[in-house]
Structure 1
């Protein structure tokens, strides 16, 4: 391996991070962070655990992530060639694309009619899911860890016992009276 060039596993992770960051942008983890473009303030999909979620068996995508990264880098190489862009050779091609070009390429890959659309939309959905729901973590743990998506949405903290109770009606008023046949457990008679 040449110095300064990531190995295949690092390249895979960086590429997946750059894709997730294109879907839900966030701030760089450090000044030399190449995968995160730094297009937004606060944590984005990567800080929310998008790669961790993609790697779980529940997504069904984990075995194919290496292929996704290789394919995305092939698309990035072709995109750069078409647009006359010089890519940093020590970076995976998608990571080397400037953020506006990352978003343009992802827009093409996820557009109606693109032959690979379903695959790219799946990866994009899991990137969103990591940010919106912390699907790969227990919600109590995600909140305790300061999960950026749940924090951005103002997701309510549980009580000290780890359970959520809502003493006020979510719409600020009672919407309907209980049916007279409702049992003490909330089941209909």
Structure 2
């Protein structure tokens, strides 16, 4: 079952462009942060609810309030949604944003088909994927990454972006994220900058130097 207006070629082109932007470091945290308020205002939309539920399935968190349906509340503590996953996914900086309603509809279609085959009754007042219990969301999402799944690349890139939101606070300036106690950076123990706002790492991450410094290395650390 696939939404009739779903254009895989357009989505795959947008995914490729999105990965290029992320790889090139052209994703601007300041511009993305300005988008946060718009995302919050649109949080009632079915597309955003579905994206939140997808992100929460990958990196679960606790509910923001009673009756918070997109977040299943499978764990305590903040997860991907609180870390800004939807802000990253819906950022106007990325070419994927206009296609998210179609991707959300595709995920809901897959959820409806899953519910039908597993004899699950879904509530009519929320998106199909949001209506799935957490264990069934997890089972469905796990199947989306099967090698033979036609839309596997879509879910892979969405998952990468969810991970970037939690692990790197990609939509925020790092200093801003640390000051705001970003849950992903806090969970990773990301260090605060020095007093001048710069990061320096005087200790080797492995506790020892892995190689001697080449004698031709310049003062900036570049090879001659």
TM-score by length of 1: 0.89
State the match for 2:169 in structure 1: 134
Residue 26 of structure 1: which of 37, 50, 61 is its match? 61
- Pick one of 146, 164, 168 that aligns with 2:203: 168
Aligned twin of 1:115:
150
Structure 1 match to 2:49: 14
CA shift, 1:157, in A, is: 1.0
Residue 71 of structure 1: SS of its match in structure 2? helix
Report the equivalent of 1:77: 112
CA drift at 1:59: 4.0
Distance 1:128 1:168 in 2: 27
Tell me, in whole angstroms, the C-alpha distance in 1 between the residues paired with 2:93 and 2:159. Answer: 16
- Verify the 8 A CA contact 2:63 2:71 in the aligned structure 1: yes
Gaps of 5+ in 2: 1-41
Alpha carbons of 1:160 and 1:127: their partners in 2 closer, same or farther (altered >3 Å)? same
The alpha-carbon deviation at position 44 of structure 1 amounts to: 0.9
Task: Report the Cα offset of residue 103 of structure 1.
Answer: 0.9
Task: Give the distance between the partners of 1:176 and 1:110, measured in 2 at CA.
Answer: 39
What displacement does 1:165 show?
1.3
Instruction: Confirm or deny that 1:157 pairs with 2:195.
Output: no
Deviation at 1:136, TM superposition (A): 1.4
TM-score (norm 2): 0.76
What is the total number of aligned residue pairs between the two structures?
A: 183
CA distance in 2, matches of 1:159, 1:99: 41
Structure exhibiting the larger radius of gyration computed from Cα positions: 1
| 1:55 lines up with 2:90 in the alignment | yes
Q: CA deviation at 1:86?
A: 0.8
